[in-house]
Chains A and B, each alone.
Chain A
Amino acid sequence: AQKITQTQPGMFVQEKEAVTLDCTYDTSDQSYGLFWYKQPSSGEMIFLIYQGSYDEQNATEGRYSLNFQKARKSANLVISASQLGDSAMYFCAMREPNLTQGGSEKLVFGKGTKLTVNP
């Protein structure tokens, strides 16, 4: 079963507008971490933002914020004031304990959303 679901293969946004990229996750554990990464066409993976499962406040990092709805198992990324340089693939990821291998943690990714910012 897929652990991380990103339902938007592609999204378009006008420069200077805000955009929300969706992410839902599936876990039975109470302690987990959620991450968003950006991958430009160069292929590097750039960390954007982190949300812990016990964090009560939504995470924010500059123009990035994470809309965390724990009961719905949703961790959407909001990018405000989009810039042309924001055009890239965006991946949602989750770290959770590996219950069959005590002490280890898996870090799994969704299939990504390709964001295009139009001038």
Chain B
Amino acid sequence: DGGITQSPKYLFRKEGQNVTLSCEQNLNHDAMYWYRQDPGQGLRLIYYSQIVNDFQKGDIAEGYSVSREKKESFPLTVTSAQKNPTAFYLCASSVTKNTEAFFGQGTRLTVV
């Protein structure tokens, strides 16, 4: 089945450690996005990528990094510079130009 897969579903890390969230899609979509959602809040854009080897900062990119070496993959690294990383992270992909984005199931990151 075509879709977008995020792993793991739950992730626990110690404070000060970097952690990488996986996002893979087999929909042949060009665009991919990473969002952060805090309890009771909307989705805030972290990074997005339109094509391989290119990505742009969203509204809250500080403390995060991404790569887009393959069309299918857009991993997000939460670095130790991110002061409050505990949140629900959603990855999405879309064909560009006025089509809906498809979302993964999300990764809930808890830093202890």
Contact residues of A with B, CB < 8 Å?
6, 33, 35, 43-45, 47, 50, 52, 91, 93, 95, 98, 101, 103-112
Contacts and interface: CB of A to CB of B under 8 A. Distances in A.
Contacts of A109: 35, 42-45
Contact of B45 (A45, A47, A52, A107): A107
Given A43-B88, A45-B90, A105 B100 contact: no
Contacts, number: 60
Given A91-B42, A91-B43, A107-B94, A47 B56 contact: no
B64 interface: no
A111 B106 CA distance: 18
B25 to A, nearest CB: 14
A50 to B, nearest CB: 6
Interface of B: 31, 33, 35, 41-45, 48, 50, 54, 56, 58-59, 88, 90, 92, 94, 96-103, 105-106, 108
A101 B47 CA distance: 13
Interface of A is mostly: strand
A95 B33 CA distance: 12
A103 B108 CA distance: 31
Nearest to B41: A111
B56 A50 contact: no
Nearest to A36: B100
B106 A44 contact: yes
10 contacts: A43-B105, A91-B43, A104-B48, A104-B54, A105-B31, A106-B45, A106-B56, A108-B45, A109-B43, A111-B41
A107 B90 contact: no
